[in-house]
Structure 1
Amino acid sequence: MENLSGGGLGHLFMAIFLHNFATFMVIPAITDVTMSALCPGRDECSIAIYLTGFQQAIVGLGTLVMMPLVGNLSDKCGRKALLTVPMILTIIPLGILGYSRNRTFFYIYFVAKTLTAMICEGSVHCLALAYVADNVAEERRASTFGVLSGIGSSAFVCGTLFTRFLSTSSTFQVATSVAVVSAMYLRIFLPDSNIDKKLSAPLLSDEKPKIADSDESSRAQILQPAKTLPSLHDLISLLKTSATFSQAAIVAFFSNLADVGLHASMMYYLKARFHFNKDQFADLMVISGVAGTISQLLLMPLLAPALGEEKLLSIGLFFSCAHMFLYGVAWSFWVPYAAAMFSIFYVFATPCMRSIVSKQVGPSEQGKAQGCISGICSFANVISPIAFSPLTALFLSEKAPFNFPGFSLICVGFAAMIAFIQSVMIRAVPPVSSQRVSSHCTHMEP
């Protein structure tokens, strides 16, 4: 991919890698820390499960409100300024557990993590997508989104492997240090986006695109009242104005509903069905992460221009359905490992969906659009554990209505199938900015 580092993308990728490395490397250790603080010496702890579920629901509700706000603020204040906030806030909970992991400090961490995650959860990725959209031409945007997702996958693999060689206390201390470095790197090296608002009129306004001189543009910006929080009417208008945007929003909801349901249920299912332990879970995550990284960094830049985002989105969601169904009907311990290899294809879905969304709005609304989609995904994050976790617990217990331990994963697969069916209905259409420029030129012809 040519000009990959242009417009500060190289610095963005490095900052995102460091941030994701810090956040992902603590995932294998946080369960042991929680159990040790709440139920020392025990292998099962109901309060830990309920507390984690409560935190996930609260964070989902918070991000549902915050994501559109953060995205819209980035359109007004710049991507770099808004990226700095979640990167700095991420340091706080990591630093608390890096200092101590006893019960008192765990509860302090729990409160700090819940509050900061309302802003941090998903916002870094959302703002990074908007930054890429500012600096990459529309025909190369899908492959660049794939590279950005590949950077996240590689950070996941590196962080997971790195954790295996550290003690629990060192894990949180190193994660805190890396999070500090990522925030400093962002502030020092990343140039802010140059959003050219003269290319097209905003999607949510009725104004016509026009070429204005700098003085007129400056006076217009001064006279225009600052609007930071998009209203419900704005978000509904955003969904209604473009049929493609609405279809992508439905895809985002059901695919995220399925993904969160899978991750919330899969480990409990594999432990009960095949007696998996933490090392086997780590092996699965590494296989999936490596396959996804290779696919996003090497395959997607080649396939996206050739097939288009719409076809690649459907391919990704098809394999997402297939790997969920395969988990649900797994008949031997090696089947989950084979299903994990499907990540070569299903990782296409998210970057393609985000690229489709970015092409439906003007340059001044990239943050708002990505924030709207992230808010919809956050809503799915709230619903998914409520829907699928009790179902998993029921069919893994002796009170199951019939003997089918993977039934909840089959239900998760049906949610992914809805997303796949909706994705097939998305047709390639000219980007909104192109439509407006064409319409304007036609209007100006004598």
Structure 2
Amino acid sequence: MSTPESIVVIGAGLAGAKTVEELRSLGFTGPLTLIGEESHAPYERPALSKEYLAGSAEFTDSLVHPLEWYAENSIDLRLNTSATAFDAAAHTVTLSDGSTVDYGALVLATGAAPRRASIPGADAEGVLYLRTKEDSDAIRAAAVKGKKLAIIGGGWIGLEVAAGARNAGADVAVLELDPLPLARIVGDRAAEAFASLHRDKGVDLHTNAEAAEILVADGHVTGVKLKDGTLIDADTVLVGIGAIPNIALAEAAGLTIEAGGVAVDAQLRTSDADVFAVGDIAAQNHPVLGRRVRVEHWATALNQPKAVAATLTGTDTDFTELPYFFTDQYDLGMEYIGSVPRGVQPEVVFRGDLESREFIAYYLNADGAILAAMAVNIWDVIDNLKALILSGKPVDRARLEDSTVAISEL
């Protein structure tokens, strides 16, 4: 496409900040506006449930750029401001202060919001969610020695917060709806490794546990009641039951919505040729995976802007990176690459030792080709795992399991 005269980016998280950075680095010199609802300069969110929550890193370590960088690069950064609508025909964005901004091209990087609990007591003081710096601050203040934290949801956020809270000395209960936390993502055997890790660290992990009510006395949380009548004492409750993509602007403007997000092509262009979407909301027709995928992870927000910026500056570029995410919990570090299609039950082949939590899990399709792989406490293998996935070729299971066979030789 031809380079637009001006570009507006809605959403000042990692994806939005990297979009304006890439545009300037590729030589775009036109007006560039970045709109963000928070008061902080754009920052990366993983540390909110990891290093920053644990107190081992400063918030400034998570900033994409210092605040002054935006002025130095002639980026009109508008904080404490939300976009209330955009008019695709008029090429204007309406802001929360009533003003409008014209655009030649628009990039939506509006991210996602925590899914809210709908049970009684969910609006009480002491019920927390995690999305912003302030949320992380509140959790850190509550998760201290002598205090009890109940976490509804045993997903990545719930387990990472559980690890941070236990390390800080808090009593932690995790309430997971399924028989094992993470099993839908990593499979039962690998999920058991995560479950046993948390139990070994003193987490009171409840599975097949559905929260029925958050108990409140005098306006303050006192615990959680499960559907089976079990009572869990708590001073604070963290709700970590997933996220909802912020697609209201796109829907109101008439953009095509699919797979729970804004439908985009290989180049992350929406159904409107002058509007793009990146990050959590982008439901991309992925040119490598051959299907539409939407990925709510840090690496997507980091890398998609490179493709968008290249396309906007005149070089049509597909986004071809495989989904990738990582977690840190206590002394366990994990990297996962690839994607298992929804509804597919892959065969899982392991290399290494699950009991010591040093292993690789390979997720195979019916033909024996690798769809995804997860490395737990095994490092510097992601590039080779990525190559295995991209080859699309069946791999001998015995060789996959054999730690004496180098992954590069598979």
Larger helix fraction of residues: 1
Larger strand fraction of residues: 2
Q: Which has the higher contact order (CA 8 A, sep 6+)?
A: 1
TM-score by length of 1: 0.26
